[in-house]
Chains A and B, each alone.
Chain A
């Protein structure tokens, strides 16, 4: 596909045995079910697409307002609104049938058993090439703290998913933790093929005129350029702690941003908020990564993974 001598640099990267044609994925929740962007960009140019997070049953989501812009970023409290697993498979995946790029499903549950059921169901669907597990969700049986804030419950979810699917399993880590390296190690030990990070950082915005929170949910998840330095630090820490591939996420707007994540140890990246702001961002980032590598005489993008000198 990518003969470096003829077609420019080799952008291929591998996650859990799945070869991506380039290291740019679209982050869950910022790319809908893919079809929302089909009129605007060629999805086949992407390394892969990650669908909006899905639960076993349809989820209504939070009351509005759900979104507010903040300095260099945005807070969202969508509340994981989604059509539910069965409707996703029945109504959304057929639109992606002819796509030549991998499709990742993004799963979330409120109990370990729900994750396991979703993983088993995903395993039976051909169009799902890989599974991303969102563990930033409240564990209803353990007082509502997110699975992802505790190494033991993060590992329990990972092991449950791992045992029900042969597809690559990527576990998406929460940044709202004291020691992300410990969580990364525990999910690696539990059988994850890769970790992706970061999910949004919990934040808040206040309307001084009304003295009310700007989001109906009071708190929300911060994303966009504002979180990039935090994300880079956490990806660097996680990459130092595990030997499975790490996928970097957080405030990536340009190829330079993406390459910074790769430099601190990411094998691939996800572009999130940038898709909302500029639907052509992900494709442009692919092109610009290629141009950067050519200009700098670098044959393979994997040559830059972890190239950081401290």
Chain B
């Protein structure tokens, strides 16, 4: 974990009101694990008060040893609006890598990923890392859901690795019409994977965890809460998890990735 003022190398629109950003990063980011996140702030203290969390979307190691960290973000409010206006060369205060990871290693053979819109961000990093570890990506798959075609961002990153991509949109504008859980449930009934990793809105995560549980498939879900510190210091990011009668878990420290079975339904 390290805090640095760093430089933006790229900040390009990728459709759907989203952008992909590349930041110079300290060499420690070479050891970042899929599922981990960073927090950002503007070094001059302008913009909103609290740091904003973003999943690590990719880590690029150049031949000269320098490391870049990629983020994929959706413009939703004050901070992301300001971020979207930043040009290459601009500075941000970067803190990370934070949190735990999807916990999927090379022994996994058939990994399915379920993304709701911007939830593709950490999963693309996971897919890339699995490919680097020698996992046969043709036996892995992405299920990607959105409201409309615009929300199906970054699917090429998965397809380029050889993964099957099952896309759904609620308005039927692209892929199958309906929710992403429909093809997921259908395919899982035919030939269940070894593990399901998911990131997206809470109702989607609950449904995915339910499908996985019904078929006895382990699932790992990445969840979002408001965060004030990202360090486990403020206890602001509490979530209630099943079977945890005595206490809450904290998304920044115990997560952001949890076993699907822990989600309170």
Contact = CB atoms under 8 A, between A and B. Distances in A.
B104 interface: no
Contacts of B128: none
Contacts of B95: 40, 279
A147 interface: no
A280 B93 CA distance: 11
Given A60-B246, A277-B41, A67 B226 contact: yes
B228 interface: yes
B2 interface: yes
Contact of B93 (A66, A225, A276, A278): A278
Interface in B29-87: 41, 45, 48-51
Contact of A278 (B41, B234, B238, B248): B41
Q: Which of A52, A67, A68, A73 has the most CB of B within 10 A?
A: A67
B48 A69 contact: yes
Given A67-B226, A279-B3, A224 B49 contact: yes
Nearest to B236: A67
Given A40-B3, A68-B226, A279-B3, A60 B247 contact: yes
Nearest to A76: B236
B235 interface: yes
Nearest to A72: B49
B48 A81 contact: no
B248 A253 contact: no
A279 B234 contact: no
A257 B130 CA distance: 49
Given A69-B49, A69-B50, A81-B238, A32 B232 contact: yes
Contacts of B41: 277-278
A37 B49 contact: no
Interface residues of B, number: 29
B3 to A, nearest CB: 6
Contacts of B50: 69, 74, 276-277
Interface string B158-195: 00000000000000000000000000000000000000
Mostly helix, strand, loop or mixed at chain B's interface? loop
Contacts of A68: 226
Given A69-B49, A277-B41, A279-B95, A61 B233 contact: no
B49 A275 contact: no
B3 A64 contact: no
B231 A64 contact: no
A78 B49 contact: no
Interface string A37-75: 101100000000000100000101111111111001110
A97 interface: no
Nearest to B226: A67
B214 interface: no
A61 B244 CA distance: 13
Contact of B232 (A36, A78, A225): A36
Nearest to B77: A69
Interface in A10-41: 29-32, 36-37, 39-40
A169 B149 CA distance: 62
A273 interface: yes
Contacts of B93: 278
Contacts of A63: 238, 240
A87 to B, nearest CB: 12
Contacts of B233: 30-32, 36-37, 52, 275-276
Interface string B194-231: 00000000000000000000000000000001111101
Contacts of A65: 225-226
B108 interface: no
Contacts of B234: 29-30, 32, 67, 76, 78, 276
Interface of B: 1-3, 41, 45, 48-51, 93, 95, 225-229, 231-240, 246-248
25 contacts: A31-B233, A32-B231, A36-B232, A40-B1, A40-B95, A52-B235, A60-B247, A60-B248, A61-B235, A61-B247, A63-B238, A64-B240, A66-B237, A67-B227, A68-B226, A69-B50, A74-B228, A225-B49, A253-B45, A273-B228, A276-B228, A276-B229, A277-B49, A277-B51, A278-B93
Given A52-B233, A61-B235, A279-B3, 6 more contacts: A32-B231, A40-B1, A60-B248, A67-B228, A76-B234, A277-B51
